[in-house]
Structure 1
Amino acid sequence: MHPAWRGLALTVIAVLSALATWTATPPGSAWGAGAPEDEIRTGYSRDFQSVDPAHIPGSPDYQAAMNIYSGLVRYKKDSTEVEPDLAERWTVSADGKTYTFYLRRNVIWHAGYGRFTAHDVKYTLERIKDPATRSRYARPLEILDRIDVVNDYTVRLVLKQPYSALLGAVLAFRPGFIVKKEAVEKLGKDFPLNPTGTGPFQFVSYRPRQEMIWVANERYYFGAPQIKRVRWRIIPDEMATALALQRDEINYMIVRKPEVYRLLKGVPSVRMTATPSAGWETIFINTRRKPFDDVRVRRAVAHAINKDQLAFSVAQGMATVGTGSVIPPGVFGHTGDIPRYEHSVERARRLLQEAGYGRGLTATLIFRQEGASPDVATAMQAMLAEIGITLKLELLESGAYFARRNTGNYDMLINNISRAEPDQFLTEIFHSANIPPGNNEAFYGGADSLIDAQRVEVTPERRRQLIVEAQRKIAQDVPAIVLWNDFNVVAYQRYVRGQVANISHWMTRFEFMHFAR
């Protein structure tokens, strides 16, 4: 069956299944019934695990943290550039090793914890660095030599060496959200799901596998949000979430699945915004496993994949074809001047023949039931069969997927990653220091020297050149194949206004939204 027809069939099946699930809800329990008029109601397929900045795993925890916490700096709402947040301004020494931040004096902690000061910054960053915390973000902070509290409203970060990505990759990202020592110690093991910050929304309650509720911070230093309450419900099925949106039981949702995108495009009461994002759908190839330790085999796979067809028949309007650059459009250092592996079955077969696999081979692809991954896997299986590669597909739930990933027991896997700073893509995903349990799922190290060089380069243009060189080296070695660059798609009721889209789906910032009924 052609992927487009298969997608239509899956949409029909998904709608029927979601209807069965949703209509099983007891009468009178409609989630939107009696909701305040200034309440955002949203749903997401995954439950919260930890909103503690030291341990944020991904979505939806990051979305919650972005709305509840603040950092010294933050991403601008329309780009991956940074702007002041808790810090009003900062200076950087000539050698690029000392950052001095001058803090706002009017910031109040949620839940009665008093005023924010430089001591909170020092505690937060040292807590993440502390091995006892076991933070997944400890390594990026190893660059810190010391943190000096100059006074209550001035803090100085002294680095061991220059790090050009400190603001965008660390301080504006997950480990940069500032926490209160007294809250961490008082709440103890309950702190991860009882976040206490200084951001635009204040945590109210959390019910496992059901919902989390926040209310507007009326003392927020940028001004109280117009949205006064956010209810974030856990709805495992995205199609069920879409049906709830049609009924106005929720009024905002992130769209990840093409079949949901197709369904909602035809709903008059719903608007959708598709924004080119700093993320991509990618095949990672395990470069440590035979026969994929041979670059000719990896290049054969790259030539066998028809990315144009995948973007058209699988992503279906939610992406643009990958260019070969591992830095997405809109992120510093992206370039279109990267050699591409054009679709060519003949060339792919010839490369396999040269590598000694002219009679074919068998490989395993692991993936999750998330977004377009299942359809990508099925399409890849057919494409690789054309060049003699028998691809075994293994669909795993998230826990099993990450456990398997961490052992390296796979030939290929599908993942979707979104970041805002080029070093996050290069160091986190392609540097040998970050092989699993880190995010270097290709077990690759061929561009380490170039990646290290761009990290310490303080001249923007020279750093850009190093980033481009690193991308060319990665393209030459093919540890990963970028299938497409995502659009961030959000759907919402027509009365929702304001900042409803961003360069990444995890940049869901309700402080910019309001209603126009």
Structure 2
Amino acid sequence: MTITRREFMVRSGLVAAALGTGTSLSTGTSYAAADTITLAVAARSPGGINPQQTGLTGGDNWAINQVFNTLVEAPDGRWASKPEDFQPSLAVSWESSADAKTWTYKLRKGVAFHKGYGEMTSDDVVFTFNRQLDPKTVTANKVFYTNIASVEALDPLTVRFTLKRPDPLFNGSAVATLSASIVSRKAFEEKGDKFNMDGIGTGPYQVDSITASGGTKLKAFPEHFAGPPATPNLLITYIADTTARTLAFASGQVDMIEGVRAPGWLNTMKQRSAKTIFDATAPGSLNTLHVNLTRPPLNDLRVRQALRYAIDNAQIANAFNGIATPMVGVIAPQFAGSVKMEDLPPELQYKPDPEKAKALLAEAGHPQGVTIPCYVSQREDYASIMLMIQEQLRACNINLDLKIIDHATFHSDNHLDKNSLALWSSSYPPIGTSILASQLASDAEVKADGTGQGNYSHYGVAIPGIDALLDKAQDEPDFNKRTALIQEAEKQVLKDLPLFGIITLSYVIARNPRLDIGYKVEAGPAYWSLSKAKLTA
């Protein structure tokens, strides 16, 4: 479905109008069932619950995180930024060789898979990771696992990973990622494609049903190794429409909603109810703009430079009322490896300059400007950012022929290499090599047949990229030296401009005060565990 810019603005305005009618956001009386936590996410329908499936949405990630476990995990509500920050999960202990190239994990004994699929063993771990390592198997985030040379079962409860290069943060770069969640080999081979909608994991919740109309229904798994979750049932509903989702929260029909990361929403919600709790991650999602280097005139560096001079990151960030930060490079400014504006030469700072943008276009042979066709998701954070970019570019004679389309279609079409300017929003752990590799490594190049990954610019293929610098950084065991190499790669990206860092944007969940999730959310990915969550009234 495609909607116009005017339609998007009208729909966004309906939220403020609805909130301005006196609706109470904290005293709704039609609460969901006392034994069920209900979360409404900003998507039209579930895409699947297979953690290795491509094209999943953020709403799917919420469900996957409850149904599956990884070998190790970060503390609740935080990133694990140092090796000592990681905590046991399916593995009870692990050790690394002195050169950080061999990692051995001792698995927890007696961990049960859902629905009678038996006990988890090292065979399931090897199966899970070998799917990621098999170049013929299409899996999500494959680039995260390219440093793994082999994974082998030493015995039923011991697994050894051998890496191609040293990685002192292997737990963060690969083992604790969502797409490394351990699946049941028996269930996967038995179910085939049906696993995508009836995944078998080891998590605190198991799949009850998944339908387009009923959402994702999860029920407690009483045999979970850490004990059953605090609340028996979890329902994830898919409400793409902002007004409908907000009013469902206001009436008490849902306990949590994915916040509207659009200018004005958060302030309006706070004004209407001081009791509503807002859980927010920092830095949240990294919002980057991929420039397709195979599409003229974007293959001309001068045109890309004109685009960059036309975009005012700070202005876009300011519109989000304190939950956004302008980016300089690709890596969030809060993470090691990011570059600071003051440390860059003037030609790489790209301070907003409309006249310079126009001059670069004229130099590239476009004195009357250019028109670039592209599309963006109708989800408010994507659409509002891209509409602001559209206005900024228009002032510099760059016209975006912008279509606003359904969120799921947006992701699937991007995966088929249909976009010229692809706005990408995702949360990442604080590991610079992973951020750069997933979006800019040649191995992650998008493919028109859907078998590629998240490098929507074709950087490293259409033009020389940063593969050599990434290899060098991944070969460096010293953290500080590795960080310096990552910063060097950041500077090269600023020279070539295959991708622009726009803003980081906190992921926000509005929560009814009757729901206690059991910990404080400070950082981390755009989903978190609800195993400790309970309804208090």
* TM range, smaller chain: 0.7 to 0.9
288 and 6 in structure 1: CA distance in 2 versus 1, 3 angstrom threshold? closer
The question of whether the paired residues in 1 share the 8 Å contact of 2:300 and 2:364 is answered with yes
**From 299, 319, 324, the counterpart of 2:324:** 319
Aligned to 1:264: 269
**From 504, 507, 529, the counterpart of 1:509:** 529
Please state how far the C-alpha of 1:369 moved relative to its aligned partner.
0.7
Q: Secondary structure at the match of 1:96?
A: coil
Alignment of 1:77-476 (within 5 A): 77-81=76-80, 82-130=86-134, 133-163=137-167, 166-258=170-262, 260-268=265-273, 269-313=275-319, 315-322=320-327, 324-336=328-340, 337-338=343-344, 339-398=348-407, 400-402=409-411, 404-406=413-415, 408-420=417-429, 421-437=431-447, 438-445=453-460, 446-476=465-495
Alignment of 1:43-62 (within 5 A): 43-46=40-43, 47-56=45-54, 57-62=56-61
Aligned to 1:41: 38
Deviations 1:335-376 (A, max 9, x none): 434553111122222333333333322222321212233333
Superposition RMSD on alpha carbons, in Å? Answer: 3.0
Q: Secondary structure at the match of 1:428?
A: helix
Deviations 1:243-270 (A, max 9, x none): 1111111011121342543442233252
386 and 142 in structure 1: CA distance in 2 versus 1, 3 angstrom threshold? closer
Please state how far the C-alpha of 1:491 moved relative to its aligned partner.
0.2
Please state how far the C-alpha of 1:505 moved relative to its aligned partner.
5.2
Aligned to 1:76: 75
Q: Secondary structure at the match of 1:426?
A: helix
Deviations 1:67-92 (A, max 9, x none): 11111112332333143211122111
Please state how far the C-alpha of 1:392 moved relative to its aligned partner.
1.6
Q: Secondary structure at the match of 1:276?
A: coil
**Which whole-Å CA distance do the structure 1 matches of 2:368 and 2:30 have between them?**
62
The question of whether the paired residues in 1 share the 8 Å contact of 2:148 and 2:163 is answered with yes
Aligned to 1:26: none
Deviations 1:129-178 (A, max 9, x none): 34564323445444433322222221111234434553223211133111
Please state how far the C-alpha of 1:10 moved relative to its aligned partner.
5.0
Please state how far the C-alpha of 1:470 moved relative to its aligned partner.
0.9
Q: Secondary structure at the match of 1:333?
A: coil
The question of whether the paired residues in 1 share the 8 Å contact of 2:278 and 2:508 is answered with yes
8 and 138 in structure 1: CA distance in 2 versus 1, 3 angstrom threshold? closer
Amino acid at match of 1:228: P
The question of whether the paired residues in 1 share the 8 Å contact of 2:439 and 2:456 is answered with yes
Greater Cα offset, 334-343 or 68-77: 334-343
Q: Secondary structure at the match of 2:389?
A: helix
Please state how far the C-alpha of 1:495 moved relative to its aligned partner.
1.8
Greater Cα offset, 241-250 or 386-395: 386-395
243 and 504 in structure 1: CA distance in 2 versus 1, 3 angstrom threshold? farther
**Which whole-Å CA distance do the structure 2 matches of 1:390 and 1:291 have between them?**
13
Aligned to 1:22: none
16 and 164 in structure 1: CA distance in 2 versus 1, 3 angstrom threshold? same
The question of whether the paired residues in 1 share the 8 Å contact of 2:8 and 2:378 is answered with no
Amino acid at match of 1:358: P
Greater Cα offset, 189-198 or 330-339: 330-339
308 and 184 in structure 1: CA distance in 2 versus 1, 3 angstrom threshold? same
Q: Secondary structure at the match of 2:373?
A: strand
**Which whole-Å CA distance do the structure 2 matches of 1:166 and 1:147 have between them?**
13
Instruction: For structure 1, list consecutive stretches of 5 or more residues without a partner in the other structure.
Output: 20-30
141 and 431 in structure 1: CA distance in 2 versus 1, 3 angstrom threshold? closer
The question of whether the paired residues in 2 share the 8 Å contact of 1:130 and 1:138 is answered with no
The question of whether the paired residues in 1 share the 8 Å contact of 2:32 and 2:254 is answered with no
Q: Secondary structure at the match of 2:380?
A: coil
TM-score by length of 1: 0.87
Deviations 1:420-442 (A, max 9, x none): 13223111101122221321122
The question of whether the paired residues in 2 share the 8 Å contact of 1:254 and 1:490 is answered with yes
The question of whether the paired residues in 2 share the 8 Å contact of 1:274 and 1:501 is answered with yes
Identity of aligned residues (%): 24
Q: Secondary structure at the match of 2:507?
A: strand
Amino acid at match of 1:457: E
The question of whether the paired residues in 2 share the 8 Å contact of 1:117 and 1:152 is answered with yes
Which structure is higher in RCO with an 8 Å CA cutoff and minimum separation 6?
Answer: 2
Aligned to 1:24: none
The question of whether the paired residues in 1 share the 8 Å contact of 2:339 and 2:487 is answered with yes
Q: Secondary structure at the match of 2:506?
A: strand
**Which whole-Å CA distance do the structure 1 matches of 2:417 and 2:237 have between them?**
34
**Which whole-Å CA distance do the structure 2 matches of 1:399 and 1:178 have between them?**
25
Deviations 1:184-215 (A, max 9, x none): 23333322111221122222222333222222
The question of whether the paired residues in 1 share the 8 Å contact of 2:221 and 2:229 is answered with yes
**Which whole-Å CA distance do the structure 2 matches of 1:132 and 1:432 have between them?**
17
**Which whole-Å CA distance do the structure 2 matches of 1:411 and 1:290 have between them?**
9
Q: Secondary structure at the match of 2:234?
A: strand
The question of whether the paired residues in 1 share the 8 Å contact of 2:336 and 2:432 is answered with yes
The question of whether the paired residues in 2 share the 8 Å contact of 1:298 and 1:478 is answered with yes
**Which whole-Å CA distance do the structure 2 matches of 1:96 and 1:425 have between them?**
20
Instruction: For structure 2, list consecutive stretches of 5 or more residues without a partner in the other structure.
Output: 1-5, 21-27, 81-85, 448-452
TM-score by length of 2: 0.84
Amino acid at match of 2:491: R
Amino acid at match of 2:325: T
Deviations 1:14-37 (A, max 9, x none): 467999xxxxxxxxxxx9968442
The question of whether the paired residues in 2 share the 8 Å contact of 1:71 and 1:171 is answered with yes
The question of whether the paired residues in 1 share the 8 Å contact of 2:76 and 2:528 is answered with no
Aligned to 1:25: none
**Which whole-Å CA distance do the structure 2 matches of 1:109 and 1:287 have between them?**
45
